[in-house]
């Protein structure tokens, strides 16, 4: 069972302030690593069409995001991090028996939904930006 007395904060891996790192691949994602407690945004070609095994096992969770600039990506990471903290503290890793994965405790779904809504808001803002019509 989840023990709230041992709550930990998730590490935030921010992108360099200048640049467009998320425009370098075919797809961009916000990712929460539930094994190591880390949130970051990245662009990918190799995982654009299929989910990596760590996502399939539930050890990592990821949400598609638009190819935004690094400053906006860092703001997204910061906004989602409080929900990722809650999520990270509401799971336990399962390594035995097979299949490996995570166990989600009560309240984890709320954190997942909040991250999804924040990513969806980023898509809405991206498509409503001037000049995108």
Q: Return d(Cα 85, Cα 74) in angstroms, integer.
A: 16
Q: Return d(Cα 31, Cα 42) in angstroms, integer.
A: 8
- Residue 20: C-alpha distances to residues 38, 65, 72 (Å): 21, 13, 10
Rg, C-alpha atoms of the chain: 15
In the prediction, which pLDDT does 91 show? 78
- Mean pLDDT, each 10-residue run in order, the chain (133 residues): 59 89 87 89 75 62 92 95 88 70 79 94 88 57
Q: Return d(Cα 65, Cα 73) in angstroms, integer.
A: 9
In the prediction, which pLDDT does 7 show? 62
């Amino acid at each position: 069972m989840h023990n709230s007395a041992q709550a930990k904060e998730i590490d935030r891996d921010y992108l360099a302030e200048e640049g467009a790192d998320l425009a370098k691949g075919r797809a961009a994602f916000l990712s929460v690593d539930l094994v190591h407690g880390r949130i970051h945004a990245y662009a990918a070609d190799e995982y654009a069409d299929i989910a990596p095994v760590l996502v399939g096992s539930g050890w990592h969770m990821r949400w598609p995001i638009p190819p935004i600039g690094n400053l906006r990506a860092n703001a997204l990471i910061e906004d989602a991090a409080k929900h990722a903290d809650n999520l990270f503290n509401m799971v336990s890793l399962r390594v035995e028996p097979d299949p490996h994965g995570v166990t989600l405790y009560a309240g984890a779904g709320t954190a997942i939904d909040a991250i999804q809504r924040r990513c969806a808001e980023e898509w809405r803002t991206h498509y409503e930006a001037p000049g995108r019509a």
